[in-house]
Amino acid sequence: MTEVDFEEILIAPLEDIVKKIADAIAYAQTELDRSALELQKNLKQRYPELAELGYLVTWYHMPEIDVELKMVMHYEREEGKFRPFWAPFNAKYKTHFSFEAEGTSVIKIKIRPIPPPVSLTIPK
Amino acid sequence: MRRKDNIEKIIKEYEKLKEVVKEKDLTISDLKKRLETIERNLKTVMDENTALKKALAEREDIIKRLLDEIQKLKATKQEIRAIPLDELSETLKRTLSSLTEKIEKIPKREGLRYIVDSFVMEIRSGIHADREGIKLVQPREITPEALSTIRFSIKAIPTIKIAKEK
């Protein structure tokens, strides 16, 4: 039997896995903003004439984030009772557990930006 | 004359005996051949016997291992790895709340804020029913064709804030 690095078939609660993904998304958007800010600063330093004209660098944002995770559910004992834990379905998992792709669960997450809630005023 | 007759008689006797000896020689040769065949067959049978003994020992080992395995399975049969359906909705709740909490941290610009627009959880699991109700069984223990599918789909709807009357 092949040696398995259990980090590669990590089994964790779903909230922990999803939290890491959300963290990565937040980090990506923060970095995009930071990069735009840096560019704006550089523009002011290197091309002050353009900055004076009000030239703004392009800011990027993610209009939609689609995440699709293929996972396998495990029931592991925790504090006396079984709880669902999840493992990403990958080549290592497939080989080690001889598990077929048809048996995997799918988690689909769509994240997108929305404008602030519209405020309605009821006239008298 | 009598002596001559005797000699002839002896010669005849001798010829007869020669024939008998020749016949016996043939019989002995035939018997030798048969003995060789029997010895060869015996060797084959003995070889087969050794091979069968070896195979038997191997089978006995397999049977022993299978019996051990049955014992282990009997022991684990008492403890089916299963969770009640409620546990799944708890997972969904915890996942959504932790996801929303993290999404809130994405930088906002021009009043735009990120939300979880939709969340779909398509679970492939085995089903087990007992006195306590329906439970989900470890998918790894069942063939993929026998797995059931449970699909949770959650969609965000925009909200309208209604201000107080002026």
- Res. B162: pLDDT tops 80: no
Query: Quick one: closest CA in B to A104, which residue?
Result: B124
Judge whether B99 and A22 are in contact, CB under 8 Å: yes
* DSSP string across A93-124: HHHHHT--GGG-EEEEEEEEEEPPPEEEE---
Q: What is the pLDDT of residue B39?
A: 96
- Res. B69: pLDDT tops 60: yes
A42 min Cα distance to partner chain B (Å) = 21
ipTM greater than 0.85: no
Tell me the average pLDDT of chain B.
86
pLDDT, average across residues B118-145: 84
Report domain extents, chain B. Answer: 1-79, 82-155
* pLDDT tens digit sequence for A40-86: 999 999 998 888 888 889 988 888 999 999 988 888 777 777 788 88
Q: What is the pLDDT of residue A1?
A: 43
Among the ranges given (A100-109, B5-14, B29-38), the one the predictor scored with the smallest mean pLDDT: A100-109
Instruction: Indicate the pTM of the whole model.
Output: 0.60
Measured in Å, how far apart are chain B's first and last C-alpha atoms?
174
- Res. B67: pLDDT tops 80: yes
* pLDDT tens digit sequence for A12-38: 888 888 888 888 888 888 898 899 999
Whether B49 and chain A come into contact, CB under 8 Å, resolves to no
**Residues B162, A24: Cα–Cα separation, whole Å:** 35
B51 min Cα distance to partner chain A (Å) = 30
Q: H helices of chain A, where?
A: 14-46, 48-52, 91-97
- Res. A5: pLDDT tops 70: no
| A105·B123 Cβ contact <8 A | yes
A65 min Cα distance to partner chain B (Å) = 9
Whether A61 and chain B come into contact, CB under 8 Å, resolves to yes
**Residues B12, A63: Cα–Cα separation, whole Å:** 127
| B121·A107 Cβ contact <8 A | yes
Query: Quick one: closest CA in B to A123, which residue?
Result: B165
- Please state, for a pLDDT cut of 70, what percent of chain B lies above it: 90
